[in-house]
Amino acid sequence: MSSFLFLLQLCVLRSLYNSAAKLKHCSKPQTTRLTPLMQIYRLKQCCLVLLCLGSVLCAHISSSLAQEEALRAYETRCLAYFTEIIEIQKFREMLTIGAEELIRRYNTGNITKEELDATLQVWYITESELRQKVTKIYDTAYAEKCFDTTTRKEEK
């Protein structure tokens, strides 16, 4: 669209130069016939101004659309990070509750020390892996400024 407007501007500008050249070469007796030519010349000038304004408007709209698209992509990406963080944290919480329940059962004598140790070892390994995974996601989200409220306000 903007390239089309640019081509129209060039055509009108060329036509303006041609009209200006015709107006310069007219003699005084021809001035009575110049009124329609002057009107056409002024009309071309107005068209050129309107085309320039249209080009500026198109550029502004394109820029705004690009910013909105970038903001949507940013929000989608950050939402994915937040969702994954919450899911992992909920899973970690569930595993911690399970480990606490195993300790309670051991204390009441329902399971042996060996069963408790084996289960807690699996829990510890799983918990460590999940902690590392969620830390990496947090680091990535911080690097992409997902937690920076000033960035989100400025981009809106």
For the chain, the structural domain boundaries read 2-155
pLDDT value, residue 125: 95
Q: What angle do CA 124, 127, 133 make, to 5 degrees?
A: 140
**Pairwise pLDDT comparison (62 vs 144), residue with the higher score:** 144
pLDDT tops 80 at residue 63: no
Judged against a pLDDT cut of 70, whether residue 111 lies above it is answered with yes
Contacts for 12-18 with beta carbons within 8 Å, 24 or more apart? 12/44, 12/47, 12/48, 12/51, 13/48, 15/44, 16/41, 16/44, 16/45, 16/48
Answer whether residue 149 shows pLDDT above 90: no
Q: What is the pLDDT of residue 132?
A: 97
State phi, psi for 127 to the nearest 5 degrees. Answer: -60, -40
Q: Which residues contact 113 (CB under 8 A, 6 or more apart)?
A: 106
Which residue, chain included where needed, has tokens 């970690």?
92
pLDDT recorded at residue 156: 47
HSE of 60 in the Cβ direction (CA atoms, 13 Å)? 6
Q: Which amino acid is at 99?
A: A
Q: Per residue in 68-96, pLDDT tens?
A: 888 888 889 999 999 999 999 999 999 99
Q: What is the pLDDT of residue 70?
A: 80
Asked if residue 14 has pLDDT above 80, the reply is: no
Q: Is 44 or 87 the better-scoring residue by pLDDT?
A: 87
